[in-house]
Amino acid sequence: MKKSKVFWIYVAIALVVYAVVQFMISSGNFDMYYSNLFITIAINVILAVSLHLVIGITGQFSIGHAGFLAVGAYVSAIFTTNLGWPFPIALLMGAIAAAIAGLIVGIPTLRLKGDYLAIATLGFAEIIRIIFLNIDYVGGAAGMQVDYLTTWTYAFFVALITVVVISNFTNSRHGRACIAVREDEVAADSMGINTTYYKVLAFAIGSFFAGLAGGLFSHNFFIIQPSQFGFLKSFDILIYVVLGGLGSLSGSIIAAILLTVISLYLQDFPETRMIIYSLVLIIVMLYRPAGLMGTKEVTDLFKFGKKSKGGNVNE
């Protein structure tokens, strides 16, 4: 009873955040620069949370998340630009395509562990990118023109749905099975958990949401190119999860918000940005390998339903 009450309070706070930003945008107080910042934050939150499910909860180290982002981006762009379907359906189609790609990639590779899995996902993401590079229908290396359709409303509600679904999944029976796989795969297996099933499930759900983010991502630019979905994009997503804390949902959201804002200020100095990113990554791993939040959640710090800060988390 109390749990669901707290949940609705968080959703209400998130909606207030939405309303405030939406009011600022529609009243003209936020120009394109700021509305773009908020949309980018929402997209990165979706990406961070979807990768958090794969790495943080299920413990499968995937460094090819940009591949699924690319699938979602291209498929939804094909549906809106080339076929003229409405944007929400195109988003869903992109996400479904990404989930199917996740299944195709996941079923063979998730039998691998640790380093090998990381390299195999990296390889698959590269293959996906090379496939798009070689399809003339989507413009090849020159890229594809896409309509500008992403609004703050779309970005926010997709992010909200993502966070709610993934946090509920984590707290469900299936989520606990995934955590068991993360903690000790052999032990989980001998307790009767179908480890392959849960690994593939988490991977497919993660890919689904990465595909949703891809649809928002492509319609937030006027053009998409395969070079936008290279290894560096995967790394950008990885650093949100690692910095926030492997296994902490709110940690990855906070890291996504923080780093998006920081990288906006550093966008004129891309080298400096990457040097800072990589140094942060090395130092965090050497001195605090669990990440900033560890496996804790922001909500753990505010027991008894105190909620002032938690609202940002559901954003």
List contacts with another protein (CB under 8 A).
55, 61, 63, 108-109, 111-112, 114-116, 118-120, 122-124, 126-127, 130-131, 133-134, 186, 231, 235, 238, 242, 246, 271-272, 274-275, 277-279, 281-282, 285-286, 289
Closest CA to 252 of 11, 53, 12: 53
Write down the least CB distance from residue 259 to another protein, Å.
14
CB of 105 to another protein, least distance (A): 9
CA gap 291, 210 in Å, rounded: 22
For 219-266, what is the HEC assignment? CCCCEECHHHHCHHHHHHHHHHHHHHCCCCHHHHHHHHHHHHHHHHHC
Q: Which is nearer to another protein, 191 or 275 (CB)?
A: 275
CA–CA dist 16, 214 (Å, integer): 26
Work out how close the CB of 207 gets to another protein at its nearest, in angstroms, rounded to a whole number.
17
Distance of alpha carbon 81 from alpha carbon 73, whole angstroms: 12
Residue with tokens 């690994």: 199
Shortest Cβ 152–another protein spacing (Å)? 32
Nearer to another protein, 30 or 68 (CB): 68
Rg over alpha carbons for the chain, rounded to the nearest Å, is 19
For residues 52 and 118, what is the distance between their CA atoms, to the nearest angstrom?
A: 15
Name the minimum Å distance from CB 281 to another protein: 4
Question: Measured from the CB atom, is 6 or 274 closer to another protein?
Answer: 274
Closest CB to another protein among 42 and 47?
47
Which C-beta is closer to another protein: that of 273 or that of 307? 273
